[in-house]
Amino acid sequence: MSKPFYQINTESEYERACQGAIEQPEEFWESIAETFHWRKKWNQVVSWNFEEPDVKWFLNGKLNITENCIDRHLKDKADQLAIIWEPNEPSAEVRKYTYAELHREVNRFANVLVKNNIQKGDRVCIYLPMIPEAVFAMLACARVGAIHSVVFAGFSSRALADRVEDAQAKMIITSDGLLRGDKKMLLRNIVAEALEMCSSVETVLTIRYTGDVVKTNHLDKWYHDELKSVSAEFHAVETDSEDPLFILYTSGSTGKPKGVVHTCGGYMVYADYSFRNVFQYEEHDIFWCTADVGWVTGHSYITYGPLLAGATCVIFEGVPNYPDTARFWQVIEKHRVTQFYTAPTAIRALMVSGSEIPKRFKMDSLKVIGSVGEPINLEAWQWYSDYVGKGNCPVVDTWWQTETGGIMISNLGGIGKHIPTFAGKPLPGIQPVLLTSEGKEIAEKSAEGLLAIKYPWPSMIRTTYGDHERCRQTYFSAYHGYYFTGDGARRDEQGMYRIIGRVDDVINVSGHRLGTAEIENAINEHDLVIESAVVSYPHDIKGQGIYAYVICDKLPADEEKARKEIHFIVESIIGKIARPDKIQFVTGLPKTRSGKIMRRILRKIAEGSTSDFGDISTLLDPGVVESILKGKI
């Protein structure tokens, strides 16, 4: 293999890389890994089995990912901007950090962590607004070899406590307050509630940001105080390729969220590789991903991917519709953004305000625009391409998951054919397959089936924190010898994939992933509720909405009041993102004789069907369907 497949810029390079990756996968990944700075090189590229599962990449390699994100750029990019922070308020001051400044900030932060007894392998929970310190905190953890667990700062105190407890986090890094659009939340006070429910935390490190008065206690340290006595030098701690880099909690079809574990070496290689190639990164590009660092998209394409590539990355604190729906376009114009990466739900919401708004802005700096998190419908795709890309930019529809660590299926910006609503082909090195429900690989090109991956890739999930068996059960047990994604997909004659959506009980609301069981458990905590069943239904803006069927002791006299109470409970147990859009009180649920809820029927009713429920003869009480239909909201 002659040229490293580090950067793929043409269709023939793409073809050659795909072929190389199939014929000689180890050489392929090795040629990419060699472009990084390792303190000690690996002695084996990969070892794997999907039974246990046991997957390792770049075995016995030693590195620190932050030396690759920061230090190695200092030679020729010390004065180049690494981060441009755009605040929630358009009139507030933009903060900018060069690579040299980022180096200093991360070193100081790392010193604060060590001073507060954080060592290699310790878990640190990060619960912060989208301020530069969120990225510094992640990198500082990585620099000292600690494992970060970022929790989206829209999750409730209870959800935060569950995650802190599961990871046995020793420290929580938070701020006094958070700004999001016209709302303010006092994060430190939410942490105070969470602390009552968990026991492992030794220090709360609070960043003064909004200046609000918040509850503190004996665990507290103010970040600005701690900074006073630390140096701006820090020698990064050496980690093994397979040491955990972070835990990120995500929802599955059962029970509580699970902590997906990613490791230092493989994740690094794949975050950089996928970033460069999907977005066709070039020197001096200004990359903007609108996600929050609380989600995997923020991990791989705000913090790690762009910095590994030495790019300039915009971090945005705000929301798309504050102070008005021109905000995104204004930021693109202001910072001359070259790649823009957002979610279909944002595009759909902004479409509603009309194409006149983006037309007012000069967005000719854009080269590639991307979509992530949920299927993008044709109308939104077209609007995005016409009015944001101005007919000039390839749209990359990127399919991936928290578990995959990086983009798996996507066309590479401007290379080869792009078909609207098709994510496209796998990145070279990724080997997806479509399976029948019996787990048989479908050989025909043009087919529909369950999406699975048959060969490991460097940034794949290694385990679910503290419960390896759960990892095996969830992803590796249903279809022997494959990683199962939970998604269904269609493939066309040319091998392009179109993602249909989840085939399990995971729903995707505004690109946020939620388990129906998780929402049901929250609803069931209401005193009057006996049982509930949550399904999704198509929603114009959110993609999917949440429809809850709720059985109460007796039907509530004041349904509106009961709905409000249920909203309140769900918001306090999970967060606003899980609040049901529709709540229907019912007297029974369609159950089989063995007691299993037939969700298929509930989904159909929520979608608006009034007939064609298929075979309902196995229902214990078929009359239930009629009665639910009568009360449909």
Q: Note the residues at the interface with ligand WTA (CB under 6 A).
A: 250, 295-297, 372-375, 397-402, 423, 485-487, 499, 501-502, 508, 513
The CB-of-513 to ligand WTA minimum distance in angstroms stands at: 4
The CB-of-506 to ligand WTA minimum distance in angstroms stands at: 7
Judged by CB, which is closer to ligand WTA: 396, or 628? 396
- Cα end-to-end span (Å), the chain: 61
* CA 479/CA 208 separation, integer angstroms: 49
Residue 124: which of 115, 133, 113 has the closest Cα?
Answer: 113
The CB-of-296 to ligand WTA minimum distance in angstroms stands at: 5
The number of CA neighbours under 13 Å toward the Cβ of 537 is: 20
- How many other CB atoms are found less than 10 A from the CB of residue 226? 19
Determine the angle formed by the axes of helices 187-195 and 157-167, rounding to 10 degrees: 60
Helices (H) and strands (E) in the chain, counts: 21, 30
The CB-of-278 to ligand WTA minimum distance in angstroms stands at: 11
Q: 375: cis peptide before it, omega within 30°?
A: no
Whether the CB-CB separation of 385 and 391 falls below 8 Å is answered with yes
The CB-of-511 to ligand WTA minimum distance in angstroms stands at: 7
Judged by CB, which is closer to ligand WTA: 66, or 345? 345
Judged by CB, which is closer to ligand WTA: 100, or 503? 503
Judged by CB, which is closer to ligand WTA: 397, or 518? 397
Judged by CB, which is closer to ligand WTA: 361, or 484? 484
Judged by CB, which is closer to ligand WTA: 20, or 515? 515
The CB-of-118 to ligand WTA minimum distance in angstroms stands at: 27
The CB-of-400 to ligand WTA minimum distance in angstroms stands at: 5
The CB-of-516 to ligand WTA minimum distance in angstroms stands at: 14
Give the β-pairing of 147-150 and 123-127: parallel
Judged by CB, which is closer to ligand WTA: 497, or 613? 497
Buried/exposed code over 325-362 (b: 16+ C-beta within 10 A; e: otherwise): bbbbbbbbbebebbbbbbbbbbbbbbbeeeeebbeebe
Judged by CB, which is closer to ligand WTA: 198, or 427? 427
Judged by CB, which is closer to ligand WTA: 86, or 403? 403
Judged by CB, which is closer to ligand WTA: 275, or 400? 400
* CA 113/CA 424 separation, integer angstroms: 43
Tokens of 412: 């590479």
- What 3-state DSSP class applies to 25? helix
For residue 551, the cross-strand partners are 531, 586
Whether the CB-CB separation of 584 and 602 falls below 8 Å is answered with no
Tell me, rounded to whole angstroms, the distance of Cα 50 from its chain centroid.
24
Judged by CB, which is closer to ligand WTA: 333, or 487? 487
The CB-of-193 to ligand WTA minimum distance in angstroms stands at: 26
The number of CA neighbours under 13 Å toward the Cβ of 259 is: 27
The CB-of-181 to ligand WTA minimum distance in angstroms stands at: 22
Q: 306: cis peptide before it, omega within 30°?
A: no
The CB-of-398 to ligand WTA minimum distance in angstroms stands at: 5
Secondary structure (DSSP) of 371-388: EESSPPPHHHHHHIIIII
* CA 79/CA 73 separation, integer angstroms: 10
Q: Is 69 exposed, middle or buried (0-12, 13-18, 19+ CB in 10 A)?
A: buried
Q: Which amino acid is at 387?
A: Y
Judged by CB, which is closer to ligand WTA: 345, or 401? 401
The CB-of-510 to ligand WTA minimum distance in angstroms stands at: 11
